[in-house]
Amino acid sequence: MAATSEATTRERDASCLEDSPQGAPERTGSTEDRSTVRSLLRLRPYVRPVRNRLILAALVAIVASCMGLVIPLALKWIVDGPVADRDPTGVWLGGALLLGIGVVEAVLFGIRRWLVARPLASVEAAMRADLYRHLQRLPVAFHDRWSSGQLLSRATTDLQLVRMFLAFPLTFLVVNGATIVIGFAILLVQDWVLGLVLLVPAIPMVILCSYFEKRYSLVARTAQDQVGDLTTVVEESVLGIRIVKGFGQHRGQAQAFRSLAMRLRTTELRKGSLLATLWALIMTLPELALGAALVLGTVQVADGELSAGTLVAFLSTALALRWPVESVGFLLAISNETATATDRYFEVMDVAEAEPATAAAPAPVVPPAGVVETSGDGLRFTDVEFRYADAPADSPPLLRGVNLHVRPGETMALVGTTGSGKTTLTALVPRLLEHTGGQISVDGLDVTALSRAQLRSLVAVAFEEPTLFSATVGENVLMGSAEAGPRELQGALEVAQARFVHALPHGVDTQVGEQGLSLSGGQRQRLALARAVVGGPRFLILDDPLSALDVHTEALVEAALRQVLANTTALVVAHRPSTVQLADRVALLSDGRITAIGTHHELLRANAEYASLMSGEGSDPI
């Protein structure tokens, strides 16, 4: 069923992505109806702790920018005063004044950058930490639906874009806006007719910017989603390099990467084309207005209606406003990309950490944190139902009406054909998946009544596919219990027959490398088993934990496991008779239900399906 679910998910995603960016599941809303301002306002909780420094930086930048507007006024004084009066001392004084204004402006801009550098790095770090923490708490079903590349791109490139926006474009949207308002006020005071000439392009520029925002937002979202797809391909190729090389698929992988890279290139060129078009128009319109003002001003000077100094000051002020006006397109582009990055970030953050409880289920009584009082009832499934979220609406649930009681201290083997839901059923106990109906209890406590920390202090899991992290052997094993120490570590390694670690270069302090690929499959599986038993859990869920072991090692592990299982309540997914014989009783899962329960020998005699599975003669072997 896991494979079927994955295939269904991929088909759904593929159909959705034929006309949309690849690999962007579960969008919270279309780009067309979103507001850039509304999206950016969602950053307020992260910006609030540093808002005073940002406001101070904006004020300093406004003052620095206005210093540039003082220069034309100083030029007017120089031209109409010392230059007209042929006063060399006044000219030198004016030059020193201009130099001083320039120095002050440069110092103020340096102060602005100092004010924003450290706090905005903190904002990025806080957002990244929150995203990582949230990803750890999200259910496994979420990670089944989302590609890792999409999540990585949200945690890296999107957050870098947010930091850059807060450091530069956000400040200069305010600064340039204030500069434009103050600058045009100065222009209108100097000569209102020439000022109105320069204001003429304002209306068409507003229309252009509105039109640009809608189109650019769509392209920016597409590009950022495609970056996520590209990241996924790179990550999968690196992690699966042995498969790629083993089957000679490097050309196919390179072609897949090249295809996605070309799609991203095309999208980036569309972005560049839109930005170039807008920037050309934004630069052309003010230049035409400036040319008209220059001609009109020259005529006024010739007619004696305007002084030369006033015209020089007017044109200098207008030229000082060129960058604030022309930067509008650039700043809007970054704002749109940042709004899209913010949307992508909150698409993940908005996902609920826990599935809502079913309407029919009564609200469980939640015990206090850290307090787990139990009745010693063992592990019990009562009318449990489970359906994958992406399963067709008219399809039956994968699990329906599952009733099973694993008594305290008992080991129950779970047997069934491939796709019958064995792994899914075991994943419901530690709430890696959330059951959609019925009740699961551990020693009388509803699993939904326990916090995940409380539940997982009671239940330990070992999976068929062992996952190790880029850490030492000891650190990987001790992840199974926060309280375990060196003594428990050595005991767990003995149970898992993992004595090979003592032959490693640094023993338990040896780094195993990413995914543990420096170890064999059997070695990784033994370390995963040691991780499950290191804390002496009350409940143990084992999903075919011995599948990668040779016959001799399997016998040794089984002998050691018997001692562990004697003191715990265990549910073991079994594929081989040798594993089944570890159990006190066996449950047969068939057609979404528990159809038979008994000892191994009882079921061999009384149940034809079970006998067929154990003999390997079934049409769908386990």
As a whole number of angstroms, the distance between CA 208 and CA 214 comes to: 10
Contacts (Cβ under 8 Å, ≥6 apart) of 217: 31, 32, 34, 36, 336, 339, 340
Which ranges of 138-201 would DSSP assign to H, the alpha helix? 140-145, 148-155, 157-167, 169-190, 192-199
Please report the pLDDT score of residue 321 as a whole number. 78
Higher pLDDT, 221 or 71: 221
pLDDT in tens, 70-118: 777 676 677 666 666 677 776 787 777 778 777 877 787 777 777 777 7
pLDDT band per the 50, 70, 90 thresholds, residue 355: very low
As a whole number of angstroms, the distance between CA 91 and CA 225 comes to: 58
As a whole number of angstroms, the distance between CA 546 and CA 579 comes to: 8
Higher pLDDT, 466 or 439: 439
As a whole number of angstroms, the distance between CA 523 and CA 399 comes to: 33
As a whole number of angstroms, the distance between CA 39 and CA 30 comes to: 12
Please report the pLDDT score of residue 514 as a whole number. 66
pLDDT at 390 exceeding the cut of 50: yes
Q: Which amino acid is at 346?
A: F
- Class at the top of the CATH hierarchy for domain 379-615: alpha beta
DSSP secondary structure string for all residues of 39-83: HHHTTHHHHGGGHHHHHHHHHHHHHHHHHHHHHHHHHHHHIIIII
pLDDT in tens, 285-294: 877 888 888 8
Please report the pLDDT score of residue 150 as a whole number. 85
Please report the pLDDT score of residue 34 as a whole number. 62
In this chain, the answer to whether the domains covering 42-216+284-349 and 379-615 adopt an identical fold is no
The CATH-assigned architecture of domain 42-216+284-349 is: Up-down Bundle (1.20)
pLDDT in tens, 269-327: 988 888 888 878 877 887 788 888 888 888 888 877 777 777 777 787 777 777 787 77
Q: Check: CB of residue 592 under 8 Å from CB of residue 396.
A: yes
pLDDT in tens, 412-426: 999 988 888 888 899
Please report the pLDDT score of residue 581 as a whole number. 80
Question: From edge to edge, which strands make up the β-sheet containing 539-543?
Answer: 459-462, 539-543, 569-573, 411-415, 585-590, 593-598
pLDDT at 25 exceeding the cut of 70: no
Domain boundaries, the chain: 42-216+284-349, 379-615
As a whole number of angstroms, the distance between CA 370 and CA 372 comes to: 6
Question: C-alpha 188: how far from its chain's center?
Answer: 50
Higher pLDDT, 513 or 398: 398
As a whole number of angstroms, the distance between CA 67 and CA 103 comes to: 10
Q: Check: CB of residue 112 under 8 Å from CB of residue 61.
A: yes
As a whole number of angstroms, the distance between CA 412 and CA 142 comes to: 29
Q: Give me the residue label for tokens 């042929």.
A: 86
pLDDT at 225 exceeding the cut of 60: yes
- Please, is 318 exposed, middle or buried when counting C-beta atoms within 10 Å of its C-beta (0-12, 13-18, 19+)? buried
Contacts by 257-266, CB closer than 8 A, 24 or more apart: 257/230, 257/233, 260/22, 260/226, 260/229, 260/230, 260/233, 261/230, 263/22, 263/226, 264/223, 264/226, 264/227, 264/230
pTM across the whole model: 0.68
As a whole number of angstroms, the distance between CA 429 and CA 584 comes to: 20
pLDDT band per the 50, 70, 90 thresholds, residue 242: low
Q: Check: CB of residue 186 under 8 Å from CB of residue 317.
A: yes
Residue 608 to residues 362, 515, 593, 603, 613: CA-CA distances in angstroms?
Answer: 39, 41, 16, 8, 9
pLDDT at 67 exceeding the cut of 70: yes
Contacts (Cβ under 8 Å, ≥6 apart) of 115: 53, 54, 56, 57, 60
As a whole number of angstroms, the distance between CA 138 and CA 432 comes to: 9
Average pLDDT estimate for 458-466: 81
